[in-house]
């Protein structure tokens, strides 16, 4: 029994050592896996910048940016205008200056609701300079139907839409003129008022050409005036054009075509309403009357429509010489010229199409 026992016990010892080794391996494997799982987390956490950590090199950067933003906020004041409300934001150098600027707002916009969220912060900007900049900005905002003025230290930004053509002219003149001491114009994004429909008219009389309606810009106004001087020999040019938004595409080309057609008449009118063009007047002869109509249709940009009512001098003379037959003749003399191909006829490029019989003759 003892010998048998001596053979059994060594096997149990090997089993215990094997079990212990297996447990140790399991713990080692678990620890290794734990390292694999924990290490990335520890590494990611260590990579996060810490405020005030000089070793990281990033801890000092974020506070510097925040300080810059805070310094910028201390210099900024702005007012936003919509149809019924004025919103004030930013900062004022002192409580007295905040109250003074609020009084300016109430004076310029007595019927508007005012939302005042301006805070008091030291900015280093002289109060006289700050108040002058705010006052000038509010004067421009009062000329708009909606818009925004921003005073950033000594820089002024103005944007929005003018209330009407007259106010737009005043605003542009003010921004182009002398600004308050220490103030510079950073940006001017003010749009003219919208004209709907967008109308342009030119009336050619015996001694003058009159221009009225809307143009999309001061540059377009100058171009129209220059072209009128080139095309018309009338001594007078009456310019009553106003700048507005809402011009259709290729408006400038359509106006040029209309003015060229009008310049071939002795007296007459052209009008553009949106993309619809009309012309009426008296030509020196029958051929010119037809040519003017054809030219206008040819030169107008795509999507512009036209209507013509052009007479010529011989027809007008005939009517005046025989008053008794004026009514009958008037029924057959072109209240409007129509040029259209007939029987498949094709005209040569650049040639003048024939004038067809009038008064129902075919």
pLDDT band at residue 318 using 50, 70 and 90 as cut-offs: low
If asked whether residues 254 and 286 sit together in one domain, one would say yes
DSSP 8-state symbol, 342: -
Say which range, 46-50, 216-220, 244-248, 309-313, has the weakest mean pLDDT: 46-50
- Say which range, 81-85, 125-129, 255-259, 321-325, has the weakest mean pLDDT: 321-325
Residues 119 and 174 in one domain: yes
Question: Which element (helix H / strand E) includes 98?
Answer: helix 95-108
Instruction: Give the mean model confidence (pLDDT) for residues 5-10.
Output: 38
User: Could you tell me the residue range of the domain that residue 323 belongs to?
Assistant: 199-330
Q: Which two tokens stand for residue 195?
A: 């004209």
Torsional sign, CA 178, 183, 187, 188: negative
Say if residue 204 is in the same domain as residue 183: no
Other residues' Cβ atoms within 10 Å of the Cβ of residue 150 = 19
Cα separations (Å) of 292 from 1, 154, 281? 138, 57, 11
Worst-scoring range by mean pLDDT, 46-60, 185-199, 246-260, 268-282?
Answer: 46-60
The reply to whether 187 and 241 lie within a common domain is no
185 and 221 share one domain? no
pLDDT at residue 321, rounded to an integer: 54
Q: Does residue 237 carry a pLDDT above 90? A: yes
Which residue's structure tokens are 């106004």? 221
Say which residue the tokens 């999309």 belong to.
Answer: 216
Convert the pLDDT of each residue in 41-81 to its tens digit: 333 333 333 333 333 333 333 444 444 444 446 689 999 99
In a domain, 103, yes or no: yes
Residue 235 lies in a domain: yes
Residue 135 lies in a domain: yes
Q: How many domains does the chain have?
A: 2
Mean pLDDT score of the chain: 77
On whether both 161 and 225 belong to a single domain, the answer is no
Q: Are residues 216 and 323 in the same domain?
A: yes
Q: What are the Cα distances from residue 329, in Å, to 167, 283, 333?
A: 51, 18, 6
What's the average model confidence in pLDDT over 227-247? 93
Residues 140 and 174 in one domain: yes
Quick one: 181 and 233 in the same domain? Answer: no
CATH number at residue 256: 3.40.1520.20
Contact between residue 199 and residue 211 where contact means Cβ atoms under 8 Å apart: no
Q: Are 295 and 244 within one domain?
A: yes
Residue 216 domain flag: yes
Beta strands across the sheet bearing 236-243: 236-243, 208-215, 199-204, 267-273, 276-283, 305-312
pTM for this prediction: 0.62
Angle at 314 between CA 263 and CA 339, to 5 degrees: 60
125 domain residue, yes or no: yes
pLDDT at 256: 97
pLDDT of residue 247 exceeding 50, the answer is yes
């Amino acid at each position: 029994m003892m010998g048998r026992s001596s053979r059994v016990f060594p096997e149990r010892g090997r089993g215990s050592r094997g079990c212990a080794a297996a447990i140790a391996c399991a713990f080692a494997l678990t620890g290794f896996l734990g390292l694999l799982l924990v290490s990335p987390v520890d590494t990611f956490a260590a990579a996060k910048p810490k405020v005030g950590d000089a070793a990281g090199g990033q801890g000092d950067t974020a506070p510097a940016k925040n300080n810059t933003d805070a310094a910028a906020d201390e210099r900024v004041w702005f007012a936003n205008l919509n149809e019924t409300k004025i919103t004030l934001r930013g900062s004022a150098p002192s409580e007295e200056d905040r109250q003074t600027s609020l009084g300016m707002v109430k004076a310029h916009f007595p019927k508007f609701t005012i939302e005042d969220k301006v805070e008091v912060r030291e900015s280093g900007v002289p109060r006289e300079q700050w108040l002058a900049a705010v006052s000038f900005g509010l004067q421009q905002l009062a000329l708009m139907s909606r818009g925004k003025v921003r005073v950033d230290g000594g820089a002024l930004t103005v944007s929005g839409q003018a209330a009407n053509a007259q106010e737009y002219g005043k605003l542009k003149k003010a921004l182009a003129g002398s600004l308050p001491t220490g103030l510079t114009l950073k940006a001017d994004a003010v749009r003219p008022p919208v004209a709907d429909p967008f109308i342009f008219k030119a009336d050619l009389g015996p001694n003058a050409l009159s221009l009225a309606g809307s143009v999309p810009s001061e540059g377009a106004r100058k171009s129209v005036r220059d072209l009128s001087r080139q095309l018309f020999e009338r001594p007078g040019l009456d310019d009553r054009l106003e700048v507005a938004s809402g011009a259709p595409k290729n408006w400038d080309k359509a106006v040029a075509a209309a003015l060229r057609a009008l310049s071939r008449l002795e007296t007459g009118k052209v009008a553009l309403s949106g993309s619809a063009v009309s012309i009426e007047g008296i030509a020196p002869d029958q051929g010119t009357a037809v040519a003017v109509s054809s030219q206008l249709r040819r030169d107008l940009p795509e999507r512009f429509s036209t209507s013509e009512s052009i007479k010529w001098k011989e027809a007008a003379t005939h009517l005046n010489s025989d008053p008794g037959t004026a009514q009958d003749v008037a029924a057959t003399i072109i209240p409007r010229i129509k040029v259209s191909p007939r029987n498949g006829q094709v005209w040569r490029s650049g040639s003048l199409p024939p004038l067809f019989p009038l008064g129902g003759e075919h």
